[in-house]
Amino acid sequence: MNKANEASLQKKLRPRHITFMAMGGVIGTGIFKGSAETIGLAGPGVVLTYIFAGLLLLVVLGAMAEMATVYPGRNMKDFVREAFGERLSFIMGWLYCFMWLSVCVIEVIAAGSFLQYWLPDVPLWVLSLASAALILVINMMSVGSFGEVEFWLAGIKIAMIIIFIVLGACILFGIIGSADAPYLRNYTEHGGFFPNGWTAIFSALLVVTFSYGGSELIGLTLTETQHAEKVLPKIVSSFIVRVILFFTLPILVICGLIPWNEIGGQSSPFVQVLNAAGLRGSAHVMNFILVTAVLSAANSGIYGATRMLHTMASAGEAPKMLARTSKRGAPVNALKLSAVILIVGAMLGFFAQEHLFRVLMAVPGFVVLLVWICICLAQLKLHKSYPVKPAFRVWGSPYITVLTVLCLSVIATLFLFDEQNRISIGVCLALLVLLTAWSLLRFRRGRE
């Protein structure tokens, strides 16, 4: 790896920046709007699905933390390269870039559609391009300033969820609102806590796992964090608890206030609870939160894509020009490439928004599963030959890591046979075949 290029990234990210950046990629429309779908699949018992998926995520992040203590100054892609060589690293890197750029296209179009609530006369493509421009400007800032902006963007969402939990709990137990408080009635009625059977918690696992996608973004911040090998284990242990709480508690509140079978997908369950609280202007409040959520997710996505492109260019796996950084430490050419893709995506959304969403929506979930599996396999491969003793160990390794790989593989297999994702899977498999062929040609001389 070209250390000069890698060193040009500034080590200005603090632990709070990293934590909130990763949470910004996770806590988005998946919880604010997508929770209606998961509740519809499994009822209140879906909280167990979120906890189980959170435990899988804990192992993935733990594997990264362990490798970071052994190989300081490297990120998650470097770990895969160390374990399996250039080819798999090359394939995973480009897949990950494709995933985040597709997420960003979806998020800027979603941001434009939410902004139309206040600006109905402005065309969608104009608002989407404006959202994309804002995200690109933020990413052109110095690393420290970028981290600070993302900290506050993600902080707004997190504050909203905390307020929602407290407010909902007060309504649930009759502290505020009407005298006819539901208490725990909606957990036991309407079919009980597992209205569709306990096996339904596994049917929702596919959607829930995808909701956690983006957490592995922590693994790309390592080269811009001082003493990452010491910081990451602490971040992982606190981050996973926060993610599980910020998903499970809101869903328990929602299911407690509204019978699970009456939660519709037309509007956010959060809006329904705010209306039940009698909060005036709740639609405006929720729309502001949704705009913030998708902009934060897009912001994290551009960060993930550009840093991965920079890492690949530094390793000779992408054009060298993408490794160039600005005086502020931002990968300027990678940002220019991302800007072109965002503009094209926003324009495609103008012509074929529904088809574009259908193709792109399932892509991130499948790629995230592959990336998580690669991270766990890298830890399994490397742990026997570490050059130094790791300061942090995955709990129950290697057995718990093997079990996690098996679980993630089963989820990925179920995804492959889901008819609703047929087009998306076709796109992913075609890209995977193309990248595999490209890697075979590029590294055919066995430079490893």
DSSP letters along 360-397, please? HHTHHHHHHHHHHHHHHHHHHHHTTS-SS--SS--TTT
Query: Whole-model pTM?
Result: 0.81
First CA to last CA across the chain, in angstroms? 13
Low-confidence ranges of the chain (pLDDT < 50): 1-7, 10, 446-448
pLDDT of residue 177: 66
Torsional class of 198: left (φ above 0), alpha (ψ -120 to 50), beta (otherwise): alpha
pLDDT of residue 376: 94
Cα 445 from Cα 239, distance rounded (Å): 42
Cα dihedral across residues 28, 32, 36, 41: positive or negative: positive
pLDDT of residue 16: 60
Residue 102: CB partners within 8 Å, gap ≥ 6? 345, 360, 363, 364
Residue ranges per domain, the chain? 3-441
CATH class of 3-441: mainly alpha
Q: Which residues pair with 90 in a beta bridge?
A: none
Q: Identify the burial level of 184 via C-beta atoms within 10 angstroms of its C-beta, where 0-12 means exposed, 13-18 middle and 19 or more buried.
A: exposed
pLDDT in tens, 269-288: 777 677 666 666 777 877 88
DSSP letter for each residue of 13-43:
B-HHHHHHHHHHHHSSHHHHTTHHHHHHHHG
